[in-house]
Amino acid sequence: MKKHNWLILFALFIFGSASAKKVKFAVDMGSYTISPNGIHVMGDFQVAAGYSLNFDPASILMTQVGATTIYTVIVTLPAFQKYEFKFVNGDQSYEVEFVPEKARVGYNFNDNRWMFVDSLQNDTSFLGAVKFSENSPAGKTLLRYVVDMQYATPVPTTGVHLGSTYQGNDPATTRLTNLDGTKYEIIAYLNTGVQSFKYYNGNNAGTTETVPGACATSSLRTHNLQADTILPTVCFSSCTACMAPPASISENSIQFSRLKISPNPASDYINIIKPNQNSGTLAIVDISGKLVKEIKIEDELTDSVNIDISDLSNGVYQIYFGSQNQYFHTKLIKN
């Protein structure tokens, strides 16, 4: 019996070690007067790290790095999870920092900082020593990437990733966090200058989005970073935010699926493969959200239908087919 118990404990230890990651929290206190009770960090990770309570401002004391204004602490946390936190100049909740809007979670009035621990490699996850009550570390600028995966579902278990200039455009190393609904985000602390980037619905080159020509430079998105910035939310493989279905074909209990069209890009006509043989309404919406074409499809025996798009201006459009309380959606590039 004792041997059996020992084997269970050993297995739990091995499993726990295999799913754990060292995480370094660091804050630069700058010119702030340091509380005699020290600098602390608190968050929703504390119980997972072995402490008694989450968001306890007194339990995790940080250590000053030499004679600098930087304070750090390393904890061990389960990987592949999002964690929220704040720094505390003291050991009371009222001594917590004020996190600026660009650096906070931001949804549902959540003003915590956040990070995603996405690796089991034998190293330490470290975001950088952010300045107390500020957006980023000294000498760095915050850039927050945001993509909406509403029409790119399902998102695989490998997650949504970013490939950008600062990390060598690698689709496998930078995983985004799902903070709200279908939106995925990550914060990077960078030098100023141009960042070229793409989003990936997965973690390899084959899962890349197709950036429309209207917002692409050499097939990539770009941003010239000069100040702390939250990038505009864009729909995966689109130049704009994901559009809500047009009111003219609005239905209850909407289910989104892929709609197949060819050719795409197209200039004169497109052939739409109907997802079923039911009648329905086809709507084409431009990048401003304006309904530019609406077609009633009554022939229930037809599997496909040809649509004349020669009158549309060149650009990116969203196409919706509404049939029996379902929506089927895709994107069209008109050239």
Please write the tens of the pLDDT for every residue from 53-96: 999 999 999 999 999 999 999 999 999 899 999 999 999 999 99
Give domain status of residue 1, yes or no: no
- Long-range contacts, 237-240 (Cβ 8 Å, 24+): 237/152, 237/209, 237/210, 237/211, 237/212, 237/331, 238/212, 238/287, 238/316, 238/318, 238/331, 239/211, 239/212, 239/214, 239/215, 239/287, 239/316, 240/287, 240/316
Examine the domain organization and report whether 189 and 217 are in the same domain: yes
Q: Which residue has the higher pLDDT, 245 or 241?
A: 241
**CA 296/CA 278 separation, integer angstroms:** 11
**Residue 63: inside a domain:** yes
Confidence check: pLDDT of 250 > 70: no
Q: What percent of the chain has pLDDT above 90?
A: 57
Last residue of a domain, one of 97, 131, 165: 131
* CATH number (domain holding residue 113): 2.60.40.10
Of 63-72, 235-244, 297-306, least confident by mean pLDDT is 297-306
Q: How many domains does the chain have?
A: 3
| Torsional class of 178: left (φ above 0), alpha (ψ -120 to 50), beta (otherwise) | beta
Give yes or no: residues 63 and 119 share one domain. yes
Q: Specify whether the CB–CB gap between 192 and 182 falls below 8 A.
A: no
Tell me if 224 is assigned to some domain.
yes
* Residues 90, 26 share a domain: yes
89 and 178, same domain (yes or no): no
Note whether residue 22 is domain-resident: yes
Q: What does DSSP say about strands 124-126 and 20-28: parallel, antiparallel, or unpaired?
A: parallel
pLDDT in tens, 135-179: 999 999 999 999 998 877 789 999 999 999 999 999 999 999 999
Give the pLDDT of residue 12: 35
What is d(CA 73, CA 91) in angstroms, rounded to the nearest whole number?
Answer: 15
**Which residues lie across from 75 on neighbouring strands?**
23
Give residue 293's pLDDT: 82
With cut-offs at 50, 70 and 90, classify the pLDDT of residue 107. confident
Asked whether residue 324 falls in the same domain as residue 260, the answer is yes
Same structural domain for residues 231 and 151? Answer: yes
pLDDT tier at 302, thresholds 50, 70, 90: low
Between strands 326-334 and 63-64, the pairing is unpaired
Pairing label, strands 183-190, 221-225 = unpaired
User: What confidence category does residue 212 fall into, taking pLDDT thresholds of 50, 70 and 90?
Assistant: confident
Question: How confident is residue 299, by pLDDT bands cut at 50, 70 and 90?
Answer: low
Q: Residue 285: pLDDT above 60?
A: yes
Structure confidence at residue 277 (pLDDT): 66
Mean of the per-residue pLDDT values for the chain? 86
The torsion angles phi and psi of 204, rounded to 5 degrees, stand at -145, 170
Structural domain includes residue 4: no
Q: Indicate if 258 and 208 belong to the same structural domain.
A: no
Number of other residues whose CB lies within 10 A of the CB of residue 88: 27
In a domain, 35, yes or no: yes
Rounded CA-CA distance 48/179 in Å is: 20
Residues 83 and 146 in one domain: no
Which run of H or of E encompasses 10?
helix 2-18
Quick one: 263 and 219 in the same domain?
Answer: no
Claim to verify: residue 119 and residue 188 sit in the same structural domain? no
- Alpha carbons 326 and 253: distance in angstroms, whole number: 7
Domain with 320 in it: what CATH number? 2.60.40.1930
The reply to whether 252 falls in a domain is yes
Cα separation, 204 vs 206, in Å, equals: 5
Asked if residue 6 has pLDDT above 70, the reply is: no
**Distance from chain centroid for Cα 120:** 20
Whether pTM exceeds 0.85: no
Domain assignment of residue 46, given as a range? 16-131
* Of residues 93, 59, 56, the one with CA closest to residue 73: 59
**What is the structure's pLDDT at 303?**
74
Q: Do residues 116 and 37 share a domain?
A: yes
Identify whether residues 206 and 254 lie together within a single domain: no
In a domain, 297, yes or no: yes
DSSP string covering 297-316, please? E--TT-SEEEEE-TTSPSEE
